Amino acid sequence: MLRRLLAEFLGTGLLVAVVVGSGIAAQRLWPDDVGLQLLQNSTATVLGLAVLILLFGPVSGAHFNPVVSLAGWWLGRRTGDGLTPAELAAYVAAQCLGGIGGALLANTMFEVGAGTAATERGGTGLLVGEVVATAGLVLLVFALARTGRGALSAPAVGAYIGAAYWFTSSTSFANPAVTVGRMFSDTFAGVAPSSVPGFVAAQLVGGAVGVLLVLVLYPDAGRAADAVVVPHPEPTHARA
């Protein structure tokens, strides 16, 4: 379990470092072109996320996202698959701490001063965008797991997040741990603390919508909860 939590901490932290660090680099390289900044930021995120899933997936499943972990627990709870409540709490804590650490690491690498972000992100459109982005992510990872295509998760999840950067109004945070982490960097990818509760609430709603879609399309998806996002060793608690 300690190895799994370390993998979730490092994976989420490095994901946030990729998002924040590439945002800082893009802003400095092309200060007058926001569209190009977003293109560079999204490209780095697509590649970085795919690599991190390949790197840490065999250890922890590469959730890197409290909503994915929560959905896995909910879908697998009746069949005894997926995380236990204690494991879920530990995963979420590791992911959130990793997200904060990743933002601080990016700040340090680019010599950005300490402090929380000032960029306000809110409004109905952005929150709807987060619902859509998160629901699609949950549906994707469980569809892949249920159909035995977990090996495709790295490119598929990376591609989805990269696309969602552009087709959602919120640029697809879709992850409470990443949202919390981005609060600690007052840069291109930052989000003000006052905007975080709304984003997290929208992500949880999106997660619930995603779970509902999974249950409709793949009623027995809970049996694949142990294989989300990618197959990994049997959890520490024994299965019957």
Euclidean distance between CA atoms 92 and 236, whole angstroms: 17
pTM above 0.85, yes or no: yes
What are the φ and ψ backbone dihedral angles of 51, each rounded to 5 degrees?
Answer: -65, -40
Q: Distances in Å between the alpha carbon of 94 and those of 53, 102, 144, 183, 225?
A: 16, 12, 24, 17, 19
Mean pLDDT of all residues in 135-159: 96
What tokens appear for 85 in the block? 């409540």
pLDDT at residue 50 tops 60: yes
pLDDT score at 115? 80
In 89-104, which positions are buried (b, 16+ CB within 10 angstroms) versus exposed (e)?
A: ebbbebbbbbbbbbbb
Question: Are 224 and 151 in contact, with CB atoms under 8 Å apart?
Answer: no
Question: Are 44 and 130 in contact, with CB atoms under 8 Å apart?
Answer: no
pLDDT digits (tens, 9 = 90+) for 56-101: 999 999 999 999 999 999 999 878 888 999 999 999 999 999 999 9
The CA-based angle 175-179-184, given to 5 degrees, is: 150
Q: Identify the three-state secondary structure at position 190.
A: coil
pLDDT digits (tens, 9 = 90+) for 123-136: 999 999 999 999 99
What is 141-164 written as a DSSP string? Answer: HHHHHHTT-GGGHHHHHHHHHHHH
pLDDT score at 234? 62
Superfamily grouping for domain 2-220 = Glycerol uptake facilitator protein. (1.20.1080.10)
Euclidean distance between CA atoms 224 and 215, whole angstroms: 12
pLDDT score at 106? 96
Burial class (CB within 10 angstroms; exposed 0-12, middle 13-18, buried 19+) of 69: buried
C-beta neighbour count of 67 within 10 angstroms:
27
pLDDT score at 174? 97
Alpha-helix runs per DSSP H in 30-147: 34-60, 66-76, 85-109, 124-146
Instruction: Report domain extents, the chain.
Output: 2-220
